[in-house]
Structure 1
Amino acid sequence: MNEIICPHCHKAFKVDESGYADLLKQVRDKEFNKQLHDRLEAAERDKANAIELERARQATLQQQSVSALQQEIQQLKGQLGAFDTQRQLAVIQAVNAIEKERDELRGKLETTELQKSVSEQELRTQFELRLKDREEEIIRLRDMKAKLSTKMVGETLEQHCETEFNRLRATAFPRAYFEKDNDARTGSKGDYIFRDYDEAGTEYVSIMFDMKNEDDRTATKKKNEDFLKELDRDRNEKGCEYAVLVSMLEPDSDLFNTGIVDMLHRYPKMYVVRPQFFIPMITLLRNAAQNSAQYKSELALVRAQNIDITNFEDKLEKFKDAFGRNYDLASRQFQKAIDEIDKSIGNLQKTKDALLSAGNNLRLANEKAQDVTIKRLTHKNPTMKQKFADARTSGRQSADEDDAD
């Protein structure tokens, strides 16, 4: 048995083991429930307090976070404003640089266009002057090629030849006879007869001259061949040894423009010459006849003295060879002079062609310059192309903002 004291009346009473166990269980359960209830309440209070504290802490933290975030936002806004200002400034600077470069480019284009126009005008003027000079020079040289030193203005060919001979008569031909052939008793006559004499008055050379000139406007052109037969007849009728046709006919003939043309294959001792070779031809024939006359005199003397004429014949052959060499040399020199004139004409013609080609290139350059555009200038230049694109975009945006205002 177990003794239990009542807490209220303080009396002792006994309970058996089973009752004690029940009582103990009741007390224990009640106490346990009470403690459990108290603990639960305390736990709830602690939980509520903890929640309030956590809420307060979270609110504080949130407030702090919001403040920090607001500060950061303000900082970011400040940075964004500064960046936007820098961006706008950079855009303005870029646009200004592009506009300046564009203005400079336009200024350069305008300056280039002005310089090109001035240079083009100067080149055209120079080209026209040089072309005119070259054309006049070509005409002058072509005329010189045909006439050379003949100075035919206001004169006939006969007057020219007579004037040229008289200029040298006193010094080169003091004993010579050179007059017009006025004897037409046989029905024909040449133009001039030349005869020269030695100191004893013996004639040693005679030449029948015929002069032929032709107006460029003549429809039917004559040839030198047309006058050779009549010249040969006149020479024979007047007893002249040589026959020379001084001719301006066939001015484009390479044969007759070489100088002295030997016509021995048609008629003996006959030549065709241009007017510039009139005096040289007389000189050659006169000198050859002088030497021949001297050799003939020597031959007569040798024969009279019954001396071997072998040496004389050698001298005569040497004279013939020397005369032939002199003739060939003179012909080559005359041909060389004609060739030099032809070269000058060719060079001037090339210069004229070059000037014409330069004029054409100048025209093509002007056409290309007129075709210059910003698009062509920025071709294969992405940097300049982007700058112009940005400048155009910025210009359109500024125009839209102005319209909106």
Structure 2
Amino acid sequence: MSALTEAQKKACDAFASATKSALSTVLNSLAPTQNADYPKPHVQEAPSDSLDPLLGNPSGVHVEVVYPSMRLSDFIGLSFNGNDTFEVKNGSLFGKVTFLVPVADVTLAVGKTIQVIYAVVRPDGVILSEILNLIVQPIAADKLPTPQITQASEDVLDLTTFDGGGDVTVEAWPLIAVGQTVWLTVSGPSGGPTMELLKAYVVTAADVSKGVRGTIARAELEKFTVGSELRVWVTVGFDRGGDEGEAIKFPNPVYTIEDFILFEAFNAANQDLLVGQSIGFPTMVLTARAGNVFIRDAGFFTLPPWITGSAITLGSPSSVLLTLNKPARKVRFGAFKSLIYTVSYFDEGGSLIWSHVSQQLESRIWFEYASSPDRKIKSISVVTGDNSSTFIDNFSMTQ
């Protein structure tokens, strides 16, 4: 025999109370003991005392109590993972009684090692069985749903294919139940953004059939750099607890952030624009504002990768406004020949975002500017002011 813990003593009190008989008065004056003649209970669905929670009966699992001295007058109570509210049973002529533990109780124990014990209540005392340390296995990873970002294509999240935020969904998982707690987090590379979409969220009745979801705000998505990785993390507290460290981890997918880059090379027939005249291209509208503005094959002035094929040609001094068909977060274009430029970037409301005067000693340059995610570039003004022609070409725009 071994000494009883306080928890075991409380369990015995509960068993005695559950008999609703005069025995409970007697029990209050008796000290329960553990006895090797009352072997640990056995779970039918758990060979070697290890239970796969998904292989049990849909109604639950069966706990068998067998001991040699079983009497019909015995009152037998069961404690499963601390729950001792099961209906008390009388002993059997066959020397065995079986308790059905509902699947809800099994679910609370997923991923844990729990204690299962029974008590035998007799007029002369309470006897506790040996303890079964039952391993309730975690649900296998291949049985758990992988979180999905609805707007992604396979493992690529292209921000130009949708507006607004990204919807993260987790389908209903095996043994999902009301009251379970969910943590849903999205993270980027080391040092990158981390967003808690759900924190100790409590599963509702509606979630049991549909699963759960969270939304990544658009502004947060746009903090990721092109080509960076976005990871989705889900953990579920099957025991309905608030400790994420004790929760079961789900598969965590990795997405690559893509930001489709629109490209404009002005491949069109030679054209001369009058001041105030506009010409449309697949990605933008070009408007001549001052001086001489042409679309010309650069010819002798072709200089890859800055200038290739047809290019915008600006006489001196000249000004051109480029209005993007779709606002962009970042714009880059090549320039050649002119040494002085004023390049100004405007938002969708026509307000100036940033203006840059370049006095480069080199005759070839990439102009590149990235705006904040909440104030995208809608138009670009380029002004030249020296005495030679200027070529600009090969625009790339990150949406």
The bucket for the TM-score relative to the shorter chain is under 0.3
Structure number with bigger Rg = 1
Q: Which has the higher strand share?
A: 2
Higher helix fraction (1 or 2): 1
Output the TM-score relative to the length of structure 2.
Answer: 0.21
